[in-house]
Structure 1
């Protein structure tokens, strides 16, 4: 029984190294997904030794294999780099401990280099050569930090796994067989990682790849102007509603960069109704998008505002209002393509096709309703 325990002692160190390596990576993923601790703080306590995410590992047996092989490669490297035991009492225990700690840190860097190389091969060929360093550098730094932050635990275990029989051997024979099979195991596990990780990332080549499914590009949602403007006051029953009138635009004029046009509102209903104050206007581009243009009450360089008075329209009669602006939309600039007109804000607007060379943000002036002519 004692011989069996003594024979298993050398395996204690690699088992602890592999377990701690996996524990650190899994702990990082669990805490980051939990979200209650900052990722930077989590990485200080649990270095991210498994950059192939832990939640993905559970759904992919190939990546579970890669994670395990990486841990075994780090463990084998640690056993191969571990300093040979000196004669009994010849080497201070703290020196042996520090040497073992350094060996485990170097083993972590070696295992990280294997993992980083596998990640590069899985993504090869990369679009930019600099991405090779972007992929490998964080993995190497994480491995080195893990060796410093966690490597002291396996180093303590290495002190307990040494036997007096090792001390009794001559220096040239100490750990020679152990180093041989440990180095061989490291090379074997590393080769397996370099082969398995690219295959896992690319999928099983023996399985036919699914045919790509063409997804139609959805039509963009066009946000036009509201069909009814916000009511500024309670409408009077005598006022003309948007359904009782028909607007039109004409009387285009231009001079020295200034522009003007006239809006005509005709009573198409069966009763007399009244328009008073200023028209309700809004603007859309030729593609139907609402535009950020403001209608300002008053006259302009080419228009003159009328007194604000009630205008009663019998069926078939008309009222007019003028708009004025300065042309700001040159070639290739989005400009007004549709003018929306209502007798007042709060009733139905109607659309008029109108090519107005006005870009957003911008403004134009509009005069009050007046009797036609």
Structure 2
């Protein structure tokens, strides 16, 4: 054990860098990604300050299962090896342990950025070719920033150990003169260059990560649970009520919606004004009457109820009739005029269906009617009157 201690001592600090990197990066991944733990919204930003997300959730979508763990370890080894390249030089010639500590801390920051850069390169290769070249920066930049931030937050741990290690050399105020050269036994080729072996280790870990990341990358759909598509439901269309609201009880002598048949004709237009005639015909076995104004409702071409008000009275195209009941024997008809101003232009929602009832509170009948009226709007309607044959001048 005594003979192996000098050989293992140079590996202690890189091992600490790798261990801290793996533990904190894994903790940040679990705390800050949707695939991990769910923190309280207040605690999540605080956790992000302590545990930089050096393993973003995007990496989890590229690597699944053991591939994620393998790449994580290789990235940690790359950072540790690069730290082993830099740390020996940080303690040489330091005037104090504080200076050595700051120099070692800076070396760990640079090593962490180097490890994150290798990880970013593997991620880019795993997703090659990108949909757009600018997407490369969206993968690389967050990893580099997280790596640098990790070094700032956690790099003090190995830096503190490096500053307190026996290998730190402090420069005395009056350095003694160097001894005269003497014959020394031949040293190992790498003993004068302690950074050479860690550099080879960094290169090996980097090459392994760059090669294995594309190989271990998987299609996220392979691990996704099959989703059974839900049956598409027909959209619910809210049309006009089949029976309109009524404030008074109906007269038993009135013609109900079941006893008549409705129709629309007599279309007319002049300088933006429109007009038409609606009729109801008694198709029942008894005589009945229609009185006052029809009950009207409107639906657009898609079947949705429209916010259009039926105003009682005449218009530019129609003239209201005196009040009074209109008796209808079987087969007789009554009519009322409707008038409006065309407000629906091309491509605008317009009336496609007119619902007509002899009075409010009875069944409405639907009539197909292309009325160039949009909502909100209004339309005038006259009282019921005996239907007369149409005359075209």
Q: Same fold (TM over 0.5)?
A: yes
Q: Deviations 1:163-196 (Å, cap 9, x if unpaired)?
A: 45x759x9x977944x333323332333333333
**Within 5 A, what are the aligned runs for 1:185-204?**
185-203=201-219
**Residue of 116, 134, 138 corresponding to 1:134:** 138
Shift of 1:93: 1.4
Paired residues, number? 360
Distance 1:153 1:131 in 2: 35
Distance 1:66 1:348 in 2: 73
Q: TM-score, normalised by structure 1?
A: 0.78
**Within 5 A, what are the aligned runs for 1:348-367?**
348-358=363-373, 360-367=374-381
**Residue of 27, 41, 46 corresponding to 1:36:** 41
- The runs of 5 or more residues in structure 1 that have no matched partner are 208-212
Shift of 1:248: 1.0
Distance 1:283 1:352 in 2: 10
- The runs of 5 or more residues in structure 2 that have no matched partner are 171-177, 179-188, 388-393
The answer to whether residue 78 in structure 2 is matched with residue 64 in structure 1 is no
The answer to whether residue 385 in structure 2 is matched with residue 371 in structure 1 is yes
Distance 1:113 1:85, change over 3 A: closer
In the other structure, the counterpart of 2:336 is: 321
**Within 5 A, what are the aligned runs for 1:191-270?**
191-203=207-219, 221=235, 223-228=237-242, 231-233=245-247, 235-236=249-250, 238=252, 240-270=255-285
Q: Deviations 1:29-53 (Å, cap 9, x if unpaired)?
A: 3787334337555433332211135
Q: TM-score, normalised by structure 2?
A: 0.74
Moved more, 69-78 or 95-104: 69-78
The answer to whether residue 174 in structure 2 is matched with residue 158 in structure 1 is no
In the other structure, the counterpart of 1:210 is: none
Distance 1:62 1:328, change over 3 A: same
Distance 1:275 1:3 in 2: 117
Distance 2:257 2:334 in 1: 14
In the other structure, the counterpart of 2:153 is: 149
Query: Does the CA-based 8 Å contact 2:296-2:357 persist in structure 1?
Result: yes
Distance 1:254 1:59, change over 3 A: same
Query: Does the CA-based 8 Å contact 2:291-2:383 persist in structure 1?
Result: yes
Shift of 1:276: 4.4
- Computed over aligned residues only, the root mean square deviation of the Cα atoms, in angstroms, reads 4.1
Shift of 1:281: 0.9
Structure 2 residue matching 1:192: 3-state secondary structure:
helix
In the other structure, the counterpart of 2:175 is: none
